[in-house]
A and B are shown apart, each in its own frame.
Chain A
Amino acid sequence: GESVGLHLPTLSVQEGDNSIINCAYSNSASDYFIWYKQESGKGPQFIIDIRSNMDKRQGQRVTVLLNKTVKHLSLQIAATQPGDSAVYFCAVFSGNTPLVFGKGTRLSVIA
């Protein structure tokens, strides 16, 4: 089955710097990828998604990069703010199978 991992469990960045959170997945048939943000005591919140026919997608201050060759996904947050402090999960769809979550990276923003 699909396994989804992240390279770092925690990440600390200075306010205003850019953040990069990484994720690796195992199933080459995975075709749809989502980044979720989870604040303390809340459920996962959709940030941005990307389909496997793309390698980059941009949102407001966030960019997702997909490298299907090495099965790697990253989330870039520009000008990181204190409100960005949370746990970030990548999540993967393979066909119609339910969403599989990675382990999460805790982002701490230092003011």
Chain B
Amino acid sequence: EPEVTQTPSHQVTQMGQEVILRCVPISNHLYFYWYRQILGQKVEFLVSFYNNEISEKSEIFDDQFSVERPDGSNFTLKIRSTKLEDSAMYFCASAPQSGGMGGYTFGSGTRLTVV
């Protein structure tokens, strides 16, 4: 069964450093998403991406965040200057269409720890 692949599975970084989280969505999917989950809390929407541009973003997704699809297969989330409160699980998801019939397929996540 097709799956969304995320790397690395765990990233530890110092406060103020830049991190790039990587995702390979399902190949025939057109819509891409990043969500995050702070430990013990719910999964929160960060950003959606379609046709090489951001289609929607949440209040969490401030100027420190950016997304990119550099080569037509990878989908990356960059945090420019990490803060302690950025520590969370970050999930990438993809979908064949918006409005979600069948929902999104999520990756296994990257656990980001900012120290």
Q: Which residues of A contact B (CB under 8 A)?
A: 32, 34, 36, 38, 41-46, 49, 89, 91, 93, 95-104
A11 CA / B72 CA spacing, docked (Å): 43
Q: Given A98-B56, A100-B45, verify A91-B103 contact (CB < 8 Å).
A: yes
User: Would you call B106 and A43 a contact (CB within 8 A)?
Assistant: yes
**Chain B interface main SS type:** loop
Q: Determine the residue in chain B with the shortest Cβ distance to A1.
A: B58
Q: Which B residues lie at the A interface, using CB under 8 A?
A: 4, 33, 35, 41-45, 48, 56, 91, 93, 98-109
Give complex CA distance A91, B48 in Å. Answer: 16
Which chain A residues lie closer than 8 Å to B99 at the CB level?
32, 93, 95-96
Residues of A within 8 A of B33 (CB): 98-99
Nearest B residue to A94 by beta-carbon distance? Answer: B99
Question: A43 to B108, Cβ gap below 8 A?
Answer: yes
User: Chain B contacts of A104 at CB under 8 A?
Assistant: 42
Q: Are B103 and A103 in contact (CB under 8 A)?
A: no
Q: In the complex, what's the smallest C-beta–C-beta distance from A100 to chain B, in angstroms?
A: 7
Task: Tell me, in angstroms, the Cα distance from A24 to B7 when the chains sit together.
Answer: 34
Interchain CB contact under 8 A, A89 and B100: no
- Chain B residues lying within 8 Å of A44, measured Cβ to Cβ, are 43, 91, 106
Interchain CB contact under 8 A, A103 and B100: no
Measured between alpha carbons, how far is A93 from B102 in the docked complex, in Å? 11
The answer to whether B100 touches A42, judged by C-beta atoms less than 8 angstroms apart, is no
A43-B91, A89-B43, A98-B33 given as contacts; is B107 within 8 A of A34 (CB)? no
- Write out the residue numbers on chain B whose beta carbons fall within 8 Å of the beta carbon of A43: 4, 91, 93, 106-109
A residues within 8 A CB of B45? 98-101
B35 to chain A, nearest CB (A): 8
Please, which residues of chain A bring their CB within 8 A of the CB of B44?
101
Report yes or no: A32 in contact with B106, Cβ–Cβ below 8 A. Answer: no
A34 CA to B5 CA in the complex, in Å? 22
Q: Cβ of A102 and Cβ of B42 under 8 Å apart?
A: yes
Closest 10 CB pairs of A and B: A43-B106, A101-B43, A103-B42, A34-B103, A96-B98, A96-B99, A46-B103, A44-B106, A98-B45, A93-B100
